[in-house]
Amino acid sequence: MNVKKQFKEALTTNNPVLVQLLGMCSTLAITTTLFNGIGMGLSVTIILICSNVVISLLRKIIPAKIRIAAYIVVIAGFVTIIDLLMQAFLPSLSESLGVFIPLIVVNCIILARAESFASKNTVAASAVDGLAQGIGYTIVLVVMCIIREFLGNGTFGGGILGFEGAGIRILPQEYTTLFIILPFGGFLTMGVLIAAMQHMSNKAAEKKRKEAQK
């Protein structure tokens, strides 16, 4: 188990959103305030860790023919727990995220890690993988939230900071760009981040090639 490599890949070369392009629906839909981004990111991270651990424990027991159905049942159980806890203790976040919490059941990030990693590796490695992938996912959400909230509303920390959770105003309302918090703005922000990630990856690969040629 190479913990450093797992975290490096989750954050850069194998980032679930910017490289694997998984979980795009929720990423584009909820990244309008920092509160939403952190809440969704932490929820997915917890579910990733728990489902990875359980699936790794059961990997030799689950028949291959029904493995996907079994994975979904495990994931659905943890999603239900998180959903009920959020409704009980964070009702405002639960209302803000809405249907996207139950839809974590079919989030491709979680199912992909179950199939490609947890079903083939030890419990410890699977737990680290879930944490690494969850952090990689959460960072992208937070970055998108900050960009879209700042440019679209002119605020920072929506749902967490400021008067009644409205966020701290940085830009006057007349200088904001409303379309950034609309669906088009989500696609635009995501496209810029993906392009930036690809640029950094290409530069890193080019640097390795030059070093190998020396």
User: What angle in degrees, to the nearest 10, is found between the helix axes of 34-57 and 123-153?
Assistant: 170
What is the pLDDT, as a whole number, of residue 178? 85
Q: Which of 112-126, 127-141, 154-168 has the lowest mean pLDDT?
A: 154-168
Q: What is the pTM of this model?
A: 0.92
Q: How far apart are CA 56 and CA 174, in angstroms?
A: 52
Question: Could you tell me if residue 188 is inside a domain?
Answer: no
Burial of residue 24 (CB within 10 Å: 0-12, 13-18, 19+) is middle
Question: Could you tell me if residue 16 is inside a domain?
Answer: yes
Q: 27 lies in which domain range?
A: 3-146
Count of other CB atoms within 10 angstroms of residue 175: 9
**In 3D, which of 3, 43, 37, 57 has the Cα closest to residue 134?**
43
| 184-208: pLDDT as tens digits | 899 999 999 999 999 998 998 888 8
Average pLDDT over the chain, rounded to an integer? 91
**In 3D, which of 111, 47, 110 has the Cα closest to residue 80?**
47
Question: Could you tell me if residue 72 is inside a domain?
Answer: yes
Does residue 164 surpass a pLDDT of 70?
no
Report the amino acid identity of residue 97: L
Question: Could you tell me if residue 138 is inside a domain?
Answer: yes
How many domains are there within the chain? 1
Residue 44: both structure tokens together: 């997915």
In three-state secondary structure terms, 155 is strand
Question: Could you tell me if residue 118 is inside a domain?
Answer: yes
